[in-house]
Amino acid sequence: MEEERSLNFIEQIVEKDLQEGVNDGRIQTRFPPEPNGYLHIGHVKAICLDFGIAEKYNGICNLRFDDTNPAKEDTEYVETIERDIAWLGFKWGKIFYASDYFEQLYDLAIRFIKEGKAYVDEQTPEQIAEQKGTPTEPGVASPYRDRPVEENLRLFQAMQNGEIEEGRMVLRAKIDMAHPNMHFRDPIMYRIITSHPHHRTGRRWNVYPMYDFAHGQSDYFEGVTHSICTLEFEVHRPLYDYFLDQITGANFIGMSPYGPDYRPKQREFNRLNITYTVMSKRKMLQLVQEHLVAGWDDPRMPTVCGLRRRGYTPTAIRNFMDRIGYTKVEGMIDQGLLEHTIREDLKETAPRICAIFDPVKLVITNYEGNGEILVGENIDGHPELGTREMPFARELYIERGDFLEEADNKFYRLSPNGREVRLKNAYIIQATGCEKDANGNITTVFATYDPTSKSGTEGGNRKTKATINWVECSSALEAEVRLYDRLFAVENPAAEEGDFRDLLNPDSLKVVTAKVEGSLRSELHAPIIQNGIEQENHYQLLKQGYFVVDPDTTAEHLVLNRTCSLKDNYLK
Ligand code: ATP
Ligand code: MG
């Protein structure tokens, strides 16, 4: 979409900072996924903003894996996240890991303890939760809150040395148990995890920093200027600032190369939620593990790899994000808008071919030709976008529904009633009759053609009420066609009572065997490279919808996935 749009509120903040020379005019963002699952379209919203801001204002966007919980993280996820971002067409500056900072964060924790700003708590998580209080009632101080510094140091080191069992102790910041912001009521800074090795640091650490202690500091060590995240972190922002206050300005201790005045600022935008799907990693993982979908890249999944396999293009996904924009208000986006953007893109770019989903044979009894090749434009009316060869012969496949043995005069397609019908890109024919099997099912339709009516010749201008699709029998390819629909039967599965798995759409996948134009064969193995990344082969199957070649395709077996139907009700 090239239409002019006004600046979003984050861009306005960035432009103001640039005008005021904040952080010496440096713009640095980061995209901080936790490598504990696959990226979904919600993440793409964050990606488009983080990378988009950097691109637009000559800054840098780094990729930072927020890998502070070894129990859930894995290198498998690191690799897929990198692949998905590259496919979307974004380029990161550097790759960082929160685990790169474990040493510095540990030193900082020790410093906090020495300054009386942190203590080791031996209570159970339940006890700690009970003491938190409510927004209107102050919390209760832990009995360990006033431990001497020496004891805190010894215990924290014992935690790190593996001498304390997982779950037995935590390190808490000593802030204010009566603070109106619950996140200030002595938040946990460190916990023990010994049950799982870390995917990068192995068994080096037995204590791991919590999000609130790790995230702001990581931004700071890297030199991030604008730390953009989703709205649920807004209530964490004062804590983000509190931890930074301890090491910047007058408290500067040299942990950043940018001097005492530099500090990152957190800004929050609204999450993306889309109808008829779920966007939680936990629920997606459940669908995968219980084989309710075929995997993370099942074309019904809202994951980036799922959308890719469904036939979405990076252009369409990025246009979608532009369209919905960034605000401070949570909402739900109609899945129809997503489908609208992919149609808009493929309408312009996807070559059109014929595919017959429910074939019946058509025999043109007066056709004597041999080896005739007709020409079809990839996109009708745009010969500059290429053409394809369409072999024509006496025996063709047509859609069963395009023939009626007995039709009323509202049926304009084939019927042995003297009516003329055009075969797309070919000749005008008239049905003469049909043949049936013992059960009365039509097996063959018979017709005659008019040799002077060929498309592209003078006789080709003759009008008919209907044009039908066809595929020549001997050159046709057989294709497994997977007709996908929405994954859930209800608009907002997350908002319903009961088990979200009971709300799956039972008709989200139907498979048919279709006859497809042979011209597809030569294109299948010609990969499309964009930005150095292999892109999918997209087609419009005439009258059927937009389709993409599935990676299950082999030399013998063609598999096509339906991306979306042709009809667009969204703008109505
Ligand atoms: P979890 O915290 O449950 O693992 P998450 O979806 O928050 O899941 P992260 O890997 O932490 O996953 O997210 C990385 C970034 O993507 C964060 O900045 C987060 O705010 C952003 N993000 C995640 N989900 C959405 C969404 N639905 N819309 C917009 N941004 C999102
Ligand atoms: Mg998260």
Is 344 a pocket residue for ligand 1 (Cβ < 6 Å)? no
pLDDT at 569 exceeding the cut of 90: no
Element (H, E) at 448: strand 442-450
User: What CA–CA distances, in Å, run from 451 to 369, 370, 409, 528?
Assistant: 10, 14, 26, 39
Q: Which residues of 277-306 are buried (b: 16+ CB within 10 A; e: fewer)?
A: bbbebeebeebbeeeebbebbbbbbbbbbb
Dist. CA 467–CA 417, nearest whole Å: 16
pLDDT in tens, 12-40: 999 999 999 999 999 999 999 999 999 99
What dihedral angle (degrees, nearest 10) is formed by the CA atoms of 408, 410, 411, 413? 130
Label the pairing between strands 471-472 and 477-484. unpaired
3-state secondary structure 464-505: CCCEECCEECCCCEEEEEEEECCCECCCCHHHCCCCHHHHEC
Is 281 a pocket residue for ligand 1 (Cβ < 6 Å)? yes
Label the pairing between strands 60-65 and 95-97. parallel
What is the Cβ-side half-sphere exposure of residue 44, based on CA atoms within 13 angstroms? 33
State the amino acid at position 571 in one-letter form: L
Dist. CA 232–CA 359, nearest whole Å: 53
Catalytic, out of 111, 271, 419, 486:
271
Ligand nearest to the CA of 229: 1
Q: Is 251 exposed, middle or buried (0-12, 13-18, 19+ CB in 10 A)?
A: exposed
Is 30 a pocket residue for ligand 1 (Cβ < 6 Å)? no
Q: For all residues of the chain together, what is the average pLDDT?
A: 94
Is 40 a pocket residue for ligand 1 (Cβ < 6 Å)? no
Q: Is 308 a catalytic residue?
A: no
Q: Give percent of the chain above pLDDT 90.
A: 89
Q: Is 271 a catalytic residue?
A: yes
Dist. CA 141–CA 178, nearest whole Å: 9
The alpha carbon of 522 and the centre of ligand 2 are apart by a number of angstroms equal to 45
Nearest CA-CA partner of 478 in 556, 550, 537? 556
pLDDT tier, 2 (very low <50, low <70, confident <90, very high otherwise):
very low
Which residue's C-alpha comes closest to atom 16 of ligand 1?
43
Confidence (pLDDT) at 524: 58
Is 271 a pocket residue for ligand 1 (Cβ < 6 Å)? yes
* DSSP code string of 316-376: HHHHHHHHH---SS---B-HHHHHHHHHHHHHHH--EE-EESSEEEEEETT----SEEEEE
pLDDT in tens, 521-534: 766 556 677 767 77
Is 302 a pocket residue for ligand 1 (Cβ < 6 Å)? no
pLDDT at 1 exceeding the cut of 50: no
pLDDT in tens, 32-85: 999 999 999 999 999 999 999 999 999 999 999 999 999 999 999 999 999 999
In ligand 1, the atom with minimum distance to the C-alpha of 33 is 10
Q: What angle do CA 283, 284, 285 make, to 5 degrees?
A: 90
pLDDT in tens, 280-326: 999 999 999 999 999 999 999 999 999 999 999 999 999 999 999 99
- The pTM (predicted TM-score) of the whole model is 0.94
Q: Give percent of the chain above pLDDT 70.
A: 97
Label the pairing between strands 265-269 and 226-230. parallel
The alpha carbon of 271 and the centre of ligand 1 are apart by a number of angstroms equal to 8
Q: Is 15 a catalytic residue?
A: no
Is 505 a pocket residue for ligand 1 (Cβ < 6 Å)? no
Nearest CA-CA partner of 426 in 385, 477, 462? 462
Label the pairing between strands 538-541 and 352-353. parallel
pLDDT tier, 379 (very low <50, low <70, confident <90, very high otherwise):
confident
Q: Answer yes or no: are the C-beta atoms of 464 and 420 closer than 8 Å.
A: yes
Confidence (pLDDT) at 571: 67
Residues in contact with 510: Cβ distance below 8 Å, sequence separation at least 6, in sequence order: 482, 483
Catalytic, out of 11, 34, 82, 122:
34
pLDDT in tens, 192-247: 999 999 999 999 999 999 999 999 999 999 999 999 999 999 999 999 999 999 99
Ligand nearest to the CA of 42: 1
Confidence (pLDDT) at 531: 67
Q: Which residue has the higher pLDDT, 154 or 458?
A: 154
- Say whether 230 sits in a helix, a strand or coil: strand
Beta-bridged to residue 295, according to DSSP, are none
Mean pLDDT of 411-432: 97
